[in-house]
Structure 1
Amino acid sequence: MLRRTATLMAVVALFAILQASAPASPAVRQGTPTSAGTLLTSGSPDTPARYVIYINWDAFRNDYFDWATRPGAMPPETGYLAAPTPLGLPSLSRFVANGVRFINAYTGIPSVTTAMQTSALAGAWPATHGNVGCYYDPLTNAAAKSGRPFYADTIVDAARRAGLVTASVQQFMLDGRADIYVQPGGRFERRVAETLKLFEAGLAGRAPMPQLVAIYADDLDAAGHNGIGYGTFPSFTEETWRKKMVAELVRMDTAFGTLIDGLMRLGIYENTAIILSSDHGMTPYWGATSLPQVVSEFAKAGLKAVLVETGDQAPDNADVVMATNGLSLQVHFRPGVSQATMAMLTASLSAQPYVGGVLTRDELTALGAHTLTGDMFIWPTPPHHFTSGNIRFGIRANHDTRHPSSVNVFMAMGGAGIKRGVEVSAPTPIIDIAPTISQLLGIAQPLSSEGRVLWEALSAPAQTPGTSAYSIQNE
C-alpha cells in the first residue's frame, strides 16, 4: 500500500513538472448547409421523424465547441502536450452546419446532473419534478441528497403511452421507465456501439425496434472534474485543462460520426432526428475557499451561519443553515430573521468581489427552483469557491454555479424534420427538449411539461406561438 501511494505521488509530481512548461493562456439566423463531405447531407428536413435519438453529453459546456473549431480560441501550442492539441470537429461541425444550433441554451438551478437530466427529460424545472441534488431539509434539520428519484412524467412515459418503443443507453434517469435499458459503461464509443446494436436487432426482427432512444455519456464530466476517469489525468493549470477538454471532445466527435455512419448504413438516417445537448457546463476553481468571508458577512448582521454536509444536522443555535452541491451556497434562514435583514445581506454579499451573484427566494421561484433550494442562492466569481477546504495544489472544477461557464450548454439538432443551417441566439432552456421531441414524434407532451416546442428549429409550420423571455444575462 505504501509503495502504491509513493508511486501515485511520483506520477502526480511528474505531471505537475511537465505541465509547468506550458504557457498561460439576430435570434434566428438562416445559413447555407455545408457541402463538405457526405456526412449529414442526405437527410431531408421535410421528412417526418420516424425515429428520434436524444443524446446528452454530461458537462458539455457550450464554448468547448468554439475552442475546438475556432482558430486562436486556445492557448499557444508550446510546452508539454503541445504537439499539437487536436483541433477540428468534422462530425459535429457538419451536424451543426446542416441543422440548428442554439448558442444560448441554458440549464437550471441547481445545475447538477440528476436534477438537470430530469429537467430535460420531463420538460420541467426542479420545482415541478422534485429532484434537487444535495439540499438542507428544515423538517429533518439535516442535509440530504435527492439521488435519482423524481416525481414527474418524462418524454419516455409520453412515448410509451402513445404506443412507441423506447430505449435508454445508460440514461440512468430512465432506468425502470424505458422499454429497453442497457448500461454498457465505458466511453461514448461503447454506447454508440450498443445503440447501433439496438437498431440492428430491431430491423432484423430479433427485438422491438426502438423509435425513441436516449443516450447518456459522461466522458466530458469525468474529465472536466479534473480527477482520474476514463483514461484522463488531472490538469494543473486552466490552460492545460482546456487542452484536455478539447482532446476529449475531438475523440467523442469521431464516435458521433460513427453513429451517423451507422444510421446511414442501416438505412434509417433519412427518417431520424438527432438532438444533442447537455445538463450543465463546467467551471474551474482553485486557491483558498471564500466560505469564511461569506460566514463573516452573516456575522456582521448578527447571524450565525453554518454549512452542513450530507447526513449532518445543523446546530440548534444556528440562525442560517447553508448546503451546497459543490460550488454555490443554498441559504436557509431560520425563523426570526427579518426580510429587511435578508435584503441587507443580499446587497452586502452582491458587492463582494468573490461573489458572482445572489438570488432571492422570489427570483429562485421565478427560475423554477425547488423550495428546498433555500431562501437565498449565492455563487462565486471564478476562480473563487465556497467549498469547505482550500485547494493548495492544482485546480478543480465543478458546475453548481450560475456562472455562464456552467449555465450555457451546447445544444444542436439535425436530421429528419429539422431545418438546415440555422443558428438560434435567443435564450433556450433545456426544458424545451422534451416538448420538441414530442412534436417530432407526433405525440402528446409529457404531463409535467413546462417547456415549449422549438418551432424555430422545425421544418413543420408552428402551430402555437411561444417565446422564452429569460436570459442568462438577466442574472
Structure 2
Amino acid sequence: PDAVGHQRGGKSQEIAGSMKRVDRNFGKLIDALKELGIYENSVVILTADHGMTHIEEGKRLGDAITNVLTIPELKMQYLSSGMVPDLDTDLLWFHMVTGAAIVYRNPISSEQEDVLIQRLTSIEGVHSVWGRERIAGQGMHPAVADLWVNLADGYGLASVEMGGHASIFQQSVPLIIKGPGIKSGLVIEEDSGIRTVDIVPTVLHMMGFDIPETVDGRVLMEIFE
C-alpha cells in the first residue's frame, strides 16, 4: 500500500485494491493461527508507520519553499539523495519523509531566522515551522535540522507523488492489539498520548521480560484487564 499510495494517491482505486489484499492476507494469518489452535494465546498487533494524504495538482510546495528561501544575503541550495553541497552554501533544505528540513551550514542572525520563518509560514499549505527547541521536544534528534517545515493536510513536496505524509497530520495511525489479558472492546481516543514506541515495552511486559532502560516508550497498562 505504501508504494501505491505514493504513486496513485490515498483516494485511488489502486490503493483500495491494495488495502483489500492486505485485509485478505491478514485474514489468512488469523485463520492459520486458529487452525493451529494457538489463536487465543497469540498476541496480534495491527498498526502502521504513518498515514497517507492525497495530494492534488497545485498543492506541491517544493518550488515555493525554494523560492522563499532564496534571499540575497544567504546562499541557499536544495539537496536530494546523492547530492553534495557547494562549499560556500549557507543554507540547505532537504525533502524529508515527514516534512522539509532546513540546515544552517554557517551561523545566521536571529533577524535572518525570523525572516526565513515569516517567509515560510506565508506559503499557502505550510501548517507550521518549528525551531530547534520544538524539534527536540518532538523526540527528533536536535541535529536533524535548524528549522522544520510541517505541511497542511493535503499538501506535499515532491512533484511526482500523488500521495504523501509530509505533515504532522499523518502521524496518527491505527493501533489494534489482541491477546490474552487485554481488555475486549476497549477504545482509546487519539489524544491519549499513546505512541508507536510504546509497542515494544508493552510486548516485552506481556512476555514477562525485563524492559531495558534503553527502550523508549512505556508499557500500556491501561489496555490490560
User: Where on the TM-score scale, by shorter chain, does this alignment land: which range?
Assistant: 0.7 to 0.9
Q: Structure 1 length as normaliser, TM-score?
A: 0.43
- The reply to whether residue 358 of structure 1 matches residue 122 of structure 2 is no
For 1:367, the equivalent position in structure 2 comes to 138
Structure 2 CA distance for partners of 1:303 and 1:430, relative to 1, 3 Å: same
Structure 2 CA distance for partners of 1:328 and 1:253, relative to 1, 3 Å: same
Structure 2 CA distance for partners of 1:259 and 1:336, relative to 1, 3 Å: closer
For 2:62, the equivalent position in structure 1 comes to 291
For 2:42, the equivalent position in structure 1 comes to 272
For 1:396, the equivalent position in structure 2 comes to 162
Shift of 1:300: 4.4
> What CA distance in whole angstroms lies between the structure 2 residues aligned with 1:265 and 1:421?
24
> What CA distance in whole angstroms lies between the structure 2 residues aligned with 1:302 and 1:285?
33
2:70 is paired with a residue whose SS is: helix
Could you list the runs of 5+ residues in structure 2 that have no partner in the other structure?
Answer: none
Q: Is the 8 A contact 1:322 1:332 kept in 2?
A: yes
Shift of 1:372: 4.0
Aligned-partner residue type, residue 5 of structure 2: G
**Please, which of 151, 172, 175 is the counterpart of residue 411 of structure 1?**
175
Shift of 1:457: 0.9
Q: Is the 8 A contact 2:103 2:145 kept in 1?
A: yes
1:323 is paired with a residue whose SS is: strand
> What CA distance in whole angstroms lies between the structure 1 residues aligned with 2:131 and 2:53?
23
For 2:188, the equivalent position in structure 1 comes to 424
**Please, which of 185, 202, 206 is the counterpart of residue 436 of structure 1?**
202
> What CA distance in whole angstroms lies between the structure 2 residues aligned with 1:326 and 1:411?
21
- Give the alignment of 1:4-403 within 5 angstroms: 220-226=1-7, 234=8, 239=11, 241=12, 243-288=13-58, 289-300=60-71, 302-326=73-97, 328-387=99-158, 390-391=159-160, 396-399=162-165, 401-403=166-168
> What CA distance in whole angstroms lies between the structure 2 residues aligned with 1:423 and 1:346?
39
Could you list the runs of 5+ residues in structure 1 that have no partner in the other structure?
Answer: 1-219, 227-233, 460-475
Q: Structure 2 length as normaliser, TM-score?
A: 0.86
> What CA distance in whole angstroms lies between the structure 2 residues aligned with 1:440 and 1:337?
50
> What CA distance in whole angstroms lies between the structure 1 residues aligned with 2:154 and 2:186?
35
Aligned-partner residue type, residue 15 of structure 2: M
Aligned-partner residue type, residue 402 of structure 1: S
1:52-95, Cα deviation, whole Å (9 max, x unpaired): xxxxxxxxxxxxxxxxxxxxxxxxxxxxxxxxxxxxxxxxxxxx
Shift of 1:304: 2.6
Q: What percentage of residue pairs aligned between the two structures are identical? A: 26
CA root-mean-square deviation: 2.3
> What CA distance in whole angstroms lies between the structure 2 residues aligned with 1:441 and 1:314?
48
Structure 2 CA distance for partners of 1:292 and 1:249, relative to 1, 3 Å: closer
Shift of 1:267: 1.5
1:154-197, Cα deviation, whole Å (9 max, x unpaired): xxxxxxxxxxxxxxxxxxxxxxxxxxxxxxxxxxxxxxxxxxxx
1:422 is paired with a residue whose SS is: coil
Q: Is the 8 A contact 1:273 1:416 kept in 2?
A: yes
> What CA distance in whole angstroms lies between the structure 1 residues aligned with 2:2 and 2:204?
28
For 1:14, the equivalent position in structure 2 comes to none
Structure scoring higher RCO (CA < 8 A, sep ≥ 6) equals: 1
For 1:450, the equivalent position in structure 2 comes to 216
For 1:117, the equivalent position in structure 2 comes to none
Shift of 1:424: 0.4
- Whichever of the two has the greater Rg, that structure is 1
Structure 2 CA distance for partners of 1:456 and 1:301, relative to 1, 3 Å: farther
Structure 2 CA distance for partners of 1:262 and 1:292, relative to 1, 3 Å: closer
Equivalenced residues, count = 222
Structure 2 CA distance for partners of 1:334 and 1:424, relative to 1, 3 Å: same
> What CA distance in whole angstroms lies between the structure 2 residues aligned with 1:252 and 1:296?
41
